[in-house]
Structure 1
Amino acid sequence: MKVAIWDTYVEKKDGKKMHFDIAVPEEEKNALKIYHFGQEYLKGKDVQSETLSAKECVFCHIENANEVMVNAIQSKGYYIIEMENCD
């Protein structure tokens, strides 16, 4: 499975930049849906962000998904790759 990677940066309350990627099926082009996935992830991390938009979240590239990514995408539609300050 090929996935589209959306590079995402959100400022946390402590001023640190949180960096994570949202992986979705390659054919998923609905940016609003992808932003919703990011918001869902942020809620699970108890990080407040009023909205995600093209300012915080942009398409980056296409790559081959690994098994963990495929399983997550099949169950909830997306997979999060935590990069920086996601704790």
Structure 2
Amino acid sequence: MKIAVFDTYVQRPDGRRMHFDILVRDQSPDKDIDVVLAHGRRYLAAKQLPAASLSAQECRFCHVESAPPSVEEEIARIGFAIIELQNCD
């Protein structure tokens, strides 16, 4: 499966800058920015972080790659996957 990777940065309430990737199928409507932002807000809400400020300025398309099986399974299950990179604790 080819996936689109969206590089995402969010300022946390504690001042740290959170960095994570949102992974979706490389097809419409999955890779439409509004859909990707909704996934990002869902992820932030699950971490009990404010999600209202997430916009296309903080979340940008980066590249397309082949998904490993674990990512394919996650996308098949919930429609997206997250790779936590910095300050996602």
Contact 2:24 2:31 in 1 (8 A): no
Match of 1:20 in 2: 20
C-alpha deviation, 1:29, in angstroms:
3.0
Q: TM-score, normalised by structure 2?
A: 0.93
Match runs of 1:1-87 below 5 Å: 1-27=1-27, 28-87=30-89
Identity among equivalent positions (%) equals: 44
Of 44-53 and 10-19, deviating more is: 44-53
**TM-score for both structures, normalised by structure 1:** 0.95
In structure 1, stretches of 5+ residues that fail to align are none
Q: Which runs of 5+ in 2 are unaligned?
A: none
Provide the C-alpha distance between the structure 2 equivalents of 1:35 and 1:10, rounded to a whole number of angstroms.
12
Give runs of ≥4 in structure 1 deviating > 3 Å. Answer: none
For 1:86 and 1:29, the matched residues in 2 are separated by: 23
Could you say what secondary structure the match of 1:53 adopts?
Answer: coil
**CA RMSD in angstroms, aligned pairs only:** 0.8
